[in-house]
């Protein structure tokens, strides 16, 4: 174990550096990733170590970034494509949906690319710099979607994503980048966190909360209050990988606690929670002791005004009140 505690952001940088050292096929491309070191400084120092041919500054054109990455992957490379803000991934939508995710299905050639970038709100970034785009890709077969919530997972899952032969969308939450509480001493040895495995962040018998990303921390706060004030033991299952979902872990937990609260920062309709609800209703109807309940952002674009943003985002208070209602059902 390293003595030095690193941030979530530094852990992502470490993962890229270590993988580039390990495998010459791995390279990074994106806007300002090279000489500037990335808008959030994720790739600081990488150009110095690996040179401009493996850390490539691109034009402001996401379709080109992702398209080049897909082409490179078809030629045997393992590119990491950075979106400066994940909101702009929409510009590269066609390359992801029609190319990357379907290539192996069409021609039998794997596309081992990682598309990563900062997602999520809470930074007063407004509608173009705060979004959570996971549901669009969650819906698409052929691409994995991962959402790390801790520093350890950020590094281990990025390494696993880079080594995966499928296209992987790796969503970093920008609010977690430099969060002091998330500073962690990481193993010095090479490690990965396998994709497709959820993890129980907190054990409990009274209710399961299914969540991922930054919301894990809001749920942990709410669970603390529920234990102290309401004598409720809430289990928190951090999904970590949204596609493919760890159905086994989800069903096992809910089968045990019989009540389920689903929390995500993305908007409600057609979100990850909708699919989770359907799975639970189909598989565990007779194990449910209360309605499947969702806490999510309202179905409106992300607001810019700080008071509106505060009202928009799910938080520990909203989770708390939904959990209490469900517990009393």
Partner 1 sequence: MPTPVKMPRLGESVAEGTVGAWLKKEGDYVEKDESLAEIITDKINAELPSPIAGRIAKILVQTDETVAVGVDIALIEESADVATEAATPQAAPVKSAAQATTPVLEQKTAAALPREDGARSAGRSKAGSAPLSLPLPANNDRRSEATTTSAGNGARNGHGEEERQRISPLARRLAREHSLDLNEIVGTGIGGRVRKEDILAYLAQEQSAPEAIPQYATPAVFASQPSAPSSPVAPPHPSVGPTQVTVAGSDEEVVVPSRMRLAIAEHMVRSKRTSPHATAMVEVDMTSIAKWLEKNKDEFKRREGYSISYVPFVMKAVCEGLRKFPMLNSSWTEDNKIIVRKRINLGVAVATDAGLVVPTVYDADQYTIAGLAKQVNALAQRARANKLTIQDLQNSTFVVNNTGVFGTIISIPIINQPNAGILAMNAVVKRPVVTEDDAIAIRSMMYLCLSFDHRILDGAGSGGFLQTVTNKLQSYGREIDVY
Note the residues at the interface with partner 1 (CB under 8 A): 258, 285-290, 328-329
Helices (H) and strands (E) in the chain, counts: 12, 14
Pick between residue 54 and residue 259 the one whose CB is nearest to partner 1: 259
Q: What is the spatial distance between Cα 35 and Cα 276, in angstroms, rounded to a whole number?
A: 42
DSSP 126: -
Nearest 10 degrees: CA dihedral of 172, 182, 311, 39? Answer: -40
Q: Of 129, 173, 217, 264, which one is the catalytic site residue?
A: 129
> Is 217 among the residues known to form the active site?
no
- Closer residue to partner 1 (CB): 287 or 304: 287
Of residues 248 and 289, the one with the C-beta less far from partner 1? 289
What whole-number distance in Å separates Cα of residue 91 and Cα of residue 63? 6
| 149 CB-near residues (< 8 Å, 6+ apart) | 173, 176, 212, 213, 214, 216, 217, 238, 240
Shortest reach from residue 291's CB to partner 1, in Å? 9
Q: How far is the CB of 290 from partner 1 (least distance, A)?
A: 6
Which of 105, 122, 104 is closest to 113 using CA atoms?
A: 104
Closer residue to partner 1 (CB): 55 or 292? 292
Q: How far is the CB of 259 from partner 1 (least distance, A)?
A: 9
Q: Give every CB contact of residue 252 below 8 A, 6+ residues apart in sequence.
A: none
Residues designated as active site: 129
């Amino acid at each position: 174990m390293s003595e030095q505690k690193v941030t979530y952001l530094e852990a992502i940088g470490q993962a890229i550096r270590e993988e580039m050292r390990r495998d010459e096929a791995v390279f990074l491309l994106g806007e300002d990733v090279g000489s500037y070191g990335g808008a959030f400084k994720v790739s600081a120092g990488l150009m110095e170590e690996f040179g401009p041919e493996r850390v490539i500054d691109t034009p402001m054109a996401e379709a080109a970034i992702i398209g080049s990455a897909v082409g490179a992957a078809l030629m045997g490379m393992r590119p990491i494509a950075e979106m400066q803000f994940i909101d702009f991934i929409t510009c590269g939508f066609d390359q992801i949906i029609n190319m990357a995710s379907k290539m192996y299905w069409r021609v039998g050639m794997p596309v081992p690319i990682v598309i990563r970038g900062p997602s999520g709100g809470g930074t007063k970034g407004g509608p173009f710099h705060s979004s959570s785009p996971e549901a669009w890709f969650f819906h698409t077969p052929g691409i994995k979607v991962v959402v790390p919530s801790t520093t350890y997972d950020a590094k281990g899952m990025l390494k696993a994503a880079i080594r995966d032969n499928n296209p992987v969308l790796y969503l970093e939450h920008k609010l977690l980048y430099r969060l002091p509480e998330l500073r962690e001493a990481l193993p010095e040895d090479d490690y990965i966190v396998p994709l497709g495995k959820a993890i129980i962040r907190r054990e409990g018998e009274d209710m399961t909360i299914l969540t991922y990303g930054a919301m894990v921390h809001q749920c942990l706060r709410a669970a603390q209050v529920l234990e102290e004030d309401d004598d409720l033991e809430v289990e928190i299952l951090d999904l970590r990988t949204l596609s493919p979902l760890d159905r086994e872990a989800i069903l096992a937990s809910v089968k045990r606690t019989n009540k389920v609260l689903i929390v995500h920062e993305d908007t409600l309709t057609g979100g990850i929670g909708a699919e989770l609800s359907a799975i639970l209703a189909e598989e565990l109807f007779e194990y449910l002791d209360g309605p499947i309940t969702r806490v999510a952002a309202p179905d409106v674009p992300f607001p810019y005004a700080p008071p509106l943003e505060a009202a928009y985002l799910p938080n520990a208070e909203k989770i708390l009140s939904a959990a209490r209602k469900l517990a009393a059902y």
